[in-house]
Chains A and B, each alone.
Chain A
């Protein structure tokens, strides 16, 4: 019996979600990390009113990226250590379906963290971070970043120093996201028209990486 493509994607993402709902381990870890990071940034940068407005988009993205790195590492490490990945590969499933399923799960968790972070930062920094344009930028950025992250985590999970290697291998590749997303966010927060150009660039980069990762995923799991 061959499972349909969409059903397979949903099943894999749903499995991650159910595991998470039961243990609440990953999401709470990511959330606490994100909260800590925001607090640490406020202290470290001694954010006064002006500095806060300048730095807030950077704080948001650095926090999100590191929180998602945390999640990515754990999500793939779990699959790999418990042999789930091999089981998934044995199943008559399309490789891209596995990728999309894992990617959807990761993006969902990071997206949730972001959606909780935005109102919190609105309250803490006194900037309207709930602007629909900002929410859209955040989600697009996370989608692209998690696509790359899912592939890179699958790739580094089989190396010796996987926890250390994932950020090192991934950050340079993810910098195009960070750069464009921070500029777009800053543009939205300061009401500058240039946010559109940066958002388009971000969406373009996200799309390129999504397609590339989708194409390359089968090489990372096939051995």
Chain B
């Protein structure tokens, strides 16, 4: 393992532990939503982590199509796999939060629907990728697909602005019973959210993707070794 990757891995694990501490203990309990509001410190950063990963995947796709090194395809694949895991965390934690707060696991709200579509799109990426035998063709075609797929990420991000009827909160809302206006429900939201957001935006996806990239490298060298052994 390269030294830098080892350092990154350690930093990510420590950072994750620190943001968990901040979110679970340092921030105050939301007096309105109760303890479950703390899921938010994972839920929202996980989406932005997926955004980084899918964004890097888009970037890898563009580089492949621009005729750059074939290694960019490995980056795209790593981005899809890690991003899909993050998007899944985003969906799951959202559903678990919604159960006590909205009284339902799932609702066909525009934002939730588009997030689910995003997940399906990248799940389809992995399936489609497995359908190609020719690696060179696969590289080009999957790059095309990763560019198309990123449209669903953008739609998920901007759908609140396009379709304002969403019930998905921007941040903790006002009390349903409090007719006199809103109030400070939680203390230390930004204290817990900002570091977590930063971690999921940068360290988490980069470290995990690097590990995935190395795995793909090794897989390729295995395939080469197999071919060599067969031809001998």
Interface residues of A (CB under 8 A from B): 148, 151, 155-156, 158-162, 165, 168-169, 171-173, 175-176, 179, 197, 201, 205, 208-209, 212-213, 216, 219-220, 222-223
Interfacial chain A residues near B137, Cβ < 8 Å = 158, 223
A158 and B65: CB pair below 8 A? no
Interface class of chain A by DSSP: helix
- 22 A-B residue pairs with CB within 8 Å: A151-B144, A155-B141, A158-B137, A159-B132, A160-B131, A172-B117, A172-B118, A173-B124, A175-B152, A176-B114, A176-B152, A179-B113, A201-B163, A205-B155, A209-B151, A212-B147, A212-B148, A213-B148, A216-B65, A216-B148, A219-B143, A223-B136
Q: Report the Cα distance A173→B127, complex, angstroms.
A: 14
* Complex alpha-carbon distance, A53 and B162, angstroms: 26
Contacts of A216 in B (CB 8 A): 65, 144, 147-148
Find A168's partner among B124, B148, B162 (CB 8 Å cutoff): B124
Determine whether the beta carbon of B128 is less than 8 Å from that of A159. Answer: yes
Would you call A156 and B131 a contact (CB within 8 A)? yes
Out of B117, B123, B125, which one reaches A175, CB within 8 Å?
Answer: B117
Count: A-B pairs, CB below 8 Å: 86
User: Chain A contacts of B134 at CB under 8 A?
Assistant: 158
B58 to chain A, nearest CB (A): 12
Q: Nearest Cβ in chain B — how far from A34, in angstroms?
A: 25
Is B121 an interface residue when CB atoms closer than 8 A count as contact?
Answer: yes
Q: How far is the CB of A77 from chain B (nearest CB, A)?
A: 15
Q: What is B's interface to A at a CB cutoff of 8 Å? A: 65, 110, 113-114, 117-118, 120-121, 123-125, 127-128, 131-134, 136-137, 140-141, 143-145, 147-149, 151-152, 155, 162-163
**Of B136, B151, B163, the contact of A212 (CB 8 Å cutoff):** B151
A220 with B117: CB separation less than 8 A = no
8 nearest CB pairs, A to B: A159-B131, A172-B121, A172-B120, A169-B128, A175-B117, A216-B144, A169-B124, A155-B141
Task: Decide: A223 and B131 in contact? CB cutoff 8 A.
Answer: no
Q: Which of A165, A169, A220 contacts B140 (CB 8 A)?
A: A220
Contacts of A168 in B (CB 8 A): 124, 127-128
Which residues of the other chain, B, contact A169 by a CB distance below 8 angstroms? 124-125, 127-128, 145
Name the contact of B128 in the complex, choosing from A156, A175, A212, A219 (C-beta under 8 A).
A156
Residue of B nearest to A166 (CB): B128
CA gap between A172 and B120 in the complex, in Å: 6
Chain B proximity of A205: nearest CB distance (Å): 8
CB-defined contacts of B149 to chain A, threshold 8 Å: 172-173
Contact B128 A165 (CB under 8 A): yes
**Which B residue sits closest to A213, measured CB to CB?**
B148
Return chain A residues, CB-CB under 8 Å to B128.
Answer: 155-156, 159, 165, 168-169
Contact present for A219 and B133 (CB under 8 Å): no
- A151: chain B residues at CB < 8 Å are 144, 148
Contact A165 B113 (CB under 8 A): no
Across the two chains, which residue of chain A brings its CB closest to B123? Answer: A172
Residue with the greatest number of chain A CB neighbours at <10 A, chosen from B118, B144, B149 = B144
Of all chain B residues, the one with the shortest Cβ separation from A162 is: B131
How many angstroms between the C-alpha atoms of A48 and B227 in the bound complex?
A: 63
A161 proximity list for chain B (CB < 8 A): 131
- How near does chain B come to A169, taking the closest CB pair, in angstroms? 5
B residues less than 8 Å from A160 (CB atoms): 131-133
Contacting residues, chain B, for A171 (C-beta < 8 A): 120, 124
| Bound-complex Cα distance A164 to B79 (A) | 25
* Given contact pairs A156-B131, A216-B144, a sample of 20 additional A-B residue pairs in the complex whose CB atoms are under 8 Å apart: A155-B128, A155-B141, A158-B137, A159-B128, A162-B131, A169-B145, A172-B124, A172-B152, A173-B121, A173-B148, A176-B114, A176-B151, A205-B151, A216-B148, A219-B65, A219-B140, A219-B141, A219-B143, A220-B144, A223-B140
Q: Give Cα A148–Cα B124 distance, bound, in whole angstroms.
A: 15
* Chain B nearest Cβ from A145, distance in angstroms: 13
